Structure 1
Amino acid sequence: MSVKQASIHAKWIIGRVIGTKMRKTAKVRVTRLVLDPYLLKFYNKRKTYFAHDALEQCTVGDVVLLKALPERRSKHVRHELAEIVFKVGAVVDPLTGKKVA
């Protein structure tokens, strides 16, 4: 039985911001579930990406959507910030839709 490896070259990636100390760059950690073929159990596999944040609008803890750039912006930056999905600290009540203080 052979196990086929899938190529992971996603155009859209969702992850959590873990650092914003570099100018106009966000450090984003992406977690995927990977199946161990022997144990038949899923494990978390983490990968860190650097994304261009032109407006410097994201903060540590935000969940963001990244878009792959057609070519590298620098040695490490290959993605750009497309959207902030969930802002850290902006808690909304699901029943009323109002912001919780």
Structure 2
Amino acid sequence: MAGIAARRAFMLLGDCVPTLIPGTSKIRVKRLELDQNLLMYFKKEEFYYVQDTEKKCKTGDVVLIQELPRKLTTAITHKVMEVVYPFGDVTDPITSEKVVVGKYRSVMDEHTKLYGPSKTRFDYEKAKERGWLEDVKDFTHEESYIKYHESDEDQPYAV
């Protein structure tokens, strides 16, 4: 009974992965599914093709999607509501502090004050916003396509 209600969720949270369909985004939603024989939960991933005509989300963003009142096509069933976390910029929803791999940035700054700065430490205060390397090293805004064979020609946007 609860499994049926979970499948028909009104809004879902997932991360954006590369897609080949123009005007859409492909969202991976991670869920836990109960195995009735073992009575254990196992990770299950579901993919949704989402209407994204404004190109709000890029690959790696965590987005909130909502089910459309009626299907746009057989594949497109949801639309993008908002980008919750841009790629690499995760915020704890309870404390509203920035998080890096399970540690708060403020705790990392305290460790830096106590033990001194490391040569390899990344400085988040001086870092530029995502998108400043578009067309240089960041090609997530370009249309991607499937690479069917290896050839000598350059194919930078192939999946």
**CA distances 1:12-44 after superposition (whole Å, capped 9, x unpaired):** 011111124422100011111112222222100
What is the aligned partner in structure 1 of residue 62 from structure 2?
63
Q: Which position in structure 2 is the counterpart of 1:44?
A: 43
Kindly name which structure, 1 or 2, has the bigger radius of gyration based on alpha carbons: 2
Partner of 2:25: 26
Equivalent residue of 1:95, what SS? helix
Look up the match of 2:106: 95
Greater share of strand: 1
Give a deviation string over 1:32-89, Cα, whole Å, max 9, x none: 1112222222100111100001211211111110010000111210100001111003
Q: Given the two structures, how large is their TM-score scaled by the length of structure 2?
A: 0.54
Higher relative contact order (CA 8 A, sep 6+): 1
Computed over aligned residues only, the root mean square deviation of the Cα atoms, in angstroms, reads 2.2
Whether the aligned pair in 2 keeps the contact of 1:16 and 1:30 (CA below 8 Å) is yes
Give distance in 1, aligned partners of 2:42 and 2:86. Answer: 27
The alignment-based identity, stated in percent, is 31
5+ unaligned residues in a row in structure 2: which ranges? 91-97, 100-104, 108-122, 128-159
Could you tell me which amino acid in structure 2 is paired with residue 29 of structure 1? R
Return the structure number with greater helix share. 2
